[in-house]
Amino acid sequence: MIELSILLTDMLFTVSRVLTWTLLSWLLSIGGALSLYMHPPAQRYSMPLINLFRHISPFCWLPLIILMMGIGEIAVGMVMILAMVFSGIITNLEALFNIPKAVKEQGSIDGARRLRLFWNIELPLAMGGMINSFRILWSVGWTTIIAAEMLGVKSGMGYRLLDYRYLLQYRQMLVYIAIIGSIGIITDWVILKFRERYFPIYHT
């Protein structure tokens, strides 16, 4: 049997890790996307490199991460950031480029200069796509954290799954797997409904 207190503690640690590192990765990716959006030449030259890193599994970097940072919370965070930030830059760039051109042109005609146009028109219209980017990053982080928590931390659902595997407690493993999937579905639904209600996506 699984003790409820242990289960709730593991859930708390895992959810807090995913929230922390997903939020940080999302903010970093927004900053990167905004920089590239404002400087097209930089975007043109950096996108091949971003795509290169996006297609490399974060776990490929484990030997270097462990060598430089050891194991523990920082190593877990670095794996999470590498898993999310490059995809986040691309999805946030798409949110910015999906703003209807007619709206931007009308804003320019009405006298809005570059910074004002961006702050008052482009950014609010892109927020729906950016929240959707957070939703995507959350799902990536949620699937990555389980393996990342096996990097020397002593808490979380990934750590407990590894513990159950060593103890050959397969029934408990299946319960944890079912709970992990259920939490993923619930959080995805919550983020989606939040985005639909407060930040609808505008299509060209």
Q: What is the pLDDT of residue 107?
A: 64
Please tell me the distance from the alpha carbon of residue 104 to that of residue 107, in angstroms, as a whole number.
5
Q: What is the pLDDT of residue 184?
A: 94
Please tell me the distance from the alpha carbon of residue 99 to that of residue 120, in angstroms, as a whole number.
13
The residue extents of the domains of the chain are 4-198
Please tell me the distance from the alpha carbon of residue 15 to that of residue 124, in angstroms, as a whole number.
28
Helix (H, G, I), strand (E, B) or coil at 110: coil
Please tell me the distance from the alpha carbon of residue 96 to that of residue 5, in angstroms, as a whole number.
44
SS (H, E, C) 189-204: HHHHHHHHHHCCCCCC
pLDDT tens per residue, the chain (204 residues)? Answer: 788 899 999 999 999 999 999 999 999 999 999 999 989 899 999 999 999 999 999 989 988 988 888 888 999 999 999 999 999 999 999 999 988 777 766 666 666 666 777 777 888 889 999 999 999 999 999 999 988 997 778 889 999 998 888 888 999 999 999 999 999 999 999 999 999 998 887 655
What CATH number is given for 4-198 in this structure? 1.10.3720.10
Please tell me the distance from the alpha carbon of residue 123 to that of residue 171, in angstroms, as a whole number.
48
Q: What is the pLDDT of residue 106?
A: 67
